[in-house]
Amino acid sequence: MAVLPVLVYPDPRLKQVSRPVESFDDSLREFLGDLEETLRAGPAAVGIAAPQVGRFERIVLVDVSCKPKIPNHGRLVLINPEFLTLEGSVVGREGCLSVPDYTGNVARAERIVVRARDEVGAEREYTMTGFEARAVQHEVDHLEGLLFLDRLVSRRDGLFRRKVYK
């Protein structure tokens, strides 16, 4: 296992769309080991996507179990993930291993249903809310070449006044 170097914005490779995983073999599982080691080696990150380490395949790891009092599914390997449901919208603060020294507010679906393959290729489905749902949406964005920087909402959002209707 090895800690892999993380691509850092403005590296243009982070804007690349990743391809689906086709073979669930030993080399994939070896890569998952490296990806997990990379995730655990950094600051307190709760997820990582394969393109962040320069492998442009649709693979993400998420584990929000380190956060107290948050409903979660533990360590999740999501391969070729797709959203079946995206409901509600909530603004929260995000940062990224690939975007050092910057955090921003991003609106994400509050509740999601995601279908994905696991490390042996079995199909799985998860229903998630809140922080874990946010983490999965953040990571899946990487597979589309999107960073949270592409989805920032203003800090002043809470202050926007209604128009005066006469």
Q: Which residues are catalytic, by number?
A: 139
Least distance (Å) between residue 115 CB and another protein: 20
Q: How many CB atoms lie within 10 A of CB 131?
A: 18
Q: Which of 41, 66, 39, 5 is nearest to 49 (CA)?
A: 39
Binding positions for another protein, rule: CB under 8 A: 43-49, 62, 67, 92-97, 100-103, 131, 134-135, 138-139, 155-156, 158-159, 161
Q: What is the DSSP letter of 144?
A: T
H or E segment and range at residue 138: helix 130-143
Q: Which is nearer to another protein, 19 or 67 (CB)?
A: 67
Q: Which is nearer to another protein, 44 or 74 (CB)?
A: 44
Q: Which is nearer to another protein, 44 or 125 (CB)?
A: 44
Least distance (Å) between residue 85 CB and another protein: 20
How far is residue 96's CA from residue 156's CA, in Å, rounded to a whole number? 22
Q: Which two tokens stand for residue 97?
A: 């291993």
